[in-house]
Structure 1
Amino acid sequence: MAKAAALAVTTGSAFSQGDHPRWIDLVFLGRQTMGKKSLEIEILKLFKSQIEIHLTQLATLEDGAQLRVRLHTIKGAAHGVGAIEVGQLAAKAEKELMTNGTVQPGAIDRLRQALQETANFITDLLED
C-alpha cells in the first residue's frame, strides 16, 4: 500500500499524467476514509470483490430491468470509492437505458473493460 500512499499524495485528480486514466482517485478515497490507510485497503479489497461480481452478472443479465439495477449499483459504488471513469460509464449507460430502453452498442463492453482495468489497478496498488 506504500505505492497507493505515494500516489495519493502526488495527485488530486482522477487522471494520472500521460494517457492512462487513474482508475481510483486516491485523494478522494483518502478524504472519504479520513486518511486511515487500513480502511482504504479494506474498501479497495471490497470494491475489487464487487467488481468481480459485477463482471459476472453483466455477462448473464437477461432483461433491461436487471441491467438498470446493475448499472445503478455500479455507478453508486464506483462514485463512492473514487472510481470516476467506471461511475461515469455506468451512469451514461443507465441514462441511455432509461431514456431509450436500450444501451448504445459497445457501452457495456466499455464498462466491462473499465471495471477490469480498475480491478487490475487495485491489484497493483495492494501488491506492495
Structure 2
Amino acid sequence: MGVAAHRESDNLNPSAAPGPFDSPIDLVHLARQTMGDRELEKEALALFDRQAEQISEKLRFAASGPAAADLAHKLKGSARAIGAVAVAAAADHYEHAARAGALKQADADHLVVATAAARAFLRELDA
C-alpha cells in the first residue's frame, strides 16, 4: 500500500489514523515537510531508508566518541525530516551517550530496533 493509500485510508476512518507515536513514520508530518509532493515524499523516504541502513549498521558496534555521535546525529536529522519519531529519539539518546562516553550496547540495540521498525514500515508502504 503506497503513502497515498495509507493517508486515504486514514481519512476514511479518523479514529484509526496513526499518530506520530503509533506508527514508525508520521505520514502527516512527512506530507507537511514535502508540501504534499508525492514524488518528494518517495525521494525523502528512499534517502532515509538508505541512510538508516548504512548508519544503523555502523552504529551497532561503534565505540563511544565523536565519530559515533556524529553518525547518530545525521540519522536523527534524517529521521526527524520524515517523521520517524522513535528513530529520532533513539538516535538522540545514542548521540548524547556517545558524546558523554557512556554508550551502552542497549543504546545501540534500541536504535537498531527502532530503525528496523521504520524500515519495515517503508516496505509496507511499497507493497
How far does residue 39 in structure 1 lie from its aligned partner after superposition?
A: 1.4
Q: How many residues align?
A: 121
Q: TM-score, normalised by structure 2?
A: 0.83
Q: For the Cα contact (< 8 Å) 1:8–1:26, is it kept in 2?
A: no
Tell me the residue number matched to 1:19.
none
Between the aligned partners of 1:92 and 1:61, the Cα distance in structure 2 is 14
Deviations 1:2-40 (A, max 9, x none): 433336644473133xxxxx1110000001111111211
Deviations 1:32-83 (A, max 9, x none): 1111112111211121111111122123535522211111111111111111
Q: Secondary structure at the match of 1:103?
A: coil
Tell me the residue number matched to 2:39.
38
Between the aligned partners of 1:109 and 1:119, the Cα distance in structure 2 is 15
Unaligned runs of 5+ in 1: 17-21
RMSD: 2.0
Q: Secondary structure at the match of 1:86?
A: helix
Q: TM-score, normalised by structure 1?
A: 0.82
Tell me the residue number matched to 1:57.
58
Between the aligned partners of 2:31 and 2:40, the Cα distance in structure 1 is 9
- The one-letter code matched in structure 2 to 1:75 is K
Matched, 1:102 2:102: yes
